[in-house]
A and B are shown apart, each in its own frame.
Chain A
Amino acid sequence: DSGVTQTPKHLITATGQRVTLRCSPRSGDLSVYWYQQSLDQGLQFLIQYYNGEERAKGNILERFSAQQFPDLHSELNLSSLELGDSALYFCASSVETGPYNEQFFGPGTRLTVL
């Protein structure tokens, strides 16, 4: 157990809908990252937050947004969902930002869009 929690574990929804994925980082970790893992594909970096502020952006669609709250938990909002958004979404956290800080991954949220 990495200490990173994600809810829900599974989510099934329909095209066009909006969902929110939640992540609680390890105690003391200030940085949160979101990744998308599609079937048979690698981990695609979406976005990073550090102490409440957006720090880096990857290949995140405009339909997706995220935020990190004062208690350091983070939410990833996915809207106007499409079939291709079906994937495993991982959250990871690290103590600080910058290189060399190990990222600890949560168990993931499996999103299925029907």
Chain B
Amino acid sequence: GENVEQHPSTLSVQEGDSAVIKCTYSDSASNYFPWYKQELGKRPQLIIDIRSNVGEKKDQRIAVTLNKTAKHFSLHITETQPEDSAVYFCAAGDQTGANNLFFGTGTRLTVIP
């Protein structure tokens, strides 16, 4: 099955700086790569996703890049704010017709004011 690795496990940045979280996946059939944000004590929520036919996608301060050849994808957050502090999960979706996602182990991002 799919195996998703995520790094780093923790990340601290100063407010206003950029944060980058990287993930790799193993199954070349995966074609959907969402990112979820989980604030403390809350449910995971989708913040951005990318499909395998796109190399980059941006939404305001958040961007994702995908390198299918290398099987890795990254989340970039620019101009970080304290409210960006949360655990971020990457995931990869398989192509069997189901929509089950395989998640990375998460990155705890702390934005220091």
> Please, which residues of chain B bring their CB within 8 A of the CB of A50?
98
For the complex formed, measure the closest distance between the CB of B52 and the CB atoms of chain A, giving whole angstroms. 9
Closest 10 CB pairs of A and B: A56-B98, A42-B105, A105-B43, A43-B103, A99-B32, A56-B100, A42-B103, A99-B93, A55-B98, A48-B100
How many chain A residues sit at the interface, stated as a range, is 20 to 34
Interface size class of B (residues with CB under 8 A): 20 to 34
A-B contact pairs, 7 of them (CB 8 A): A44-B103, A55-B97, A56-B100, A97-B98, A102-B49, A107-B42, A107-B43
A102–B6 Cα gap in the complex (Å)? Answer: 21
Chain B residues, CB < 8 A from A94: 99
Residues of A within 8 A of B97 (CB): 55, 97-98
Interface residues of B (CB under 8 A from A): 1, 6, 31-32, 34, 36, 42-46, 49, 51, 89, 91, 93-106
- Cα distance, A94 to B43, chains bound together (Å): 15
B-binding residues in A (CB < 8 A): 2, 31, 33, 35, 41-45, 48, 50, 55-56, 58, 90, 94, 96-103, 105-108
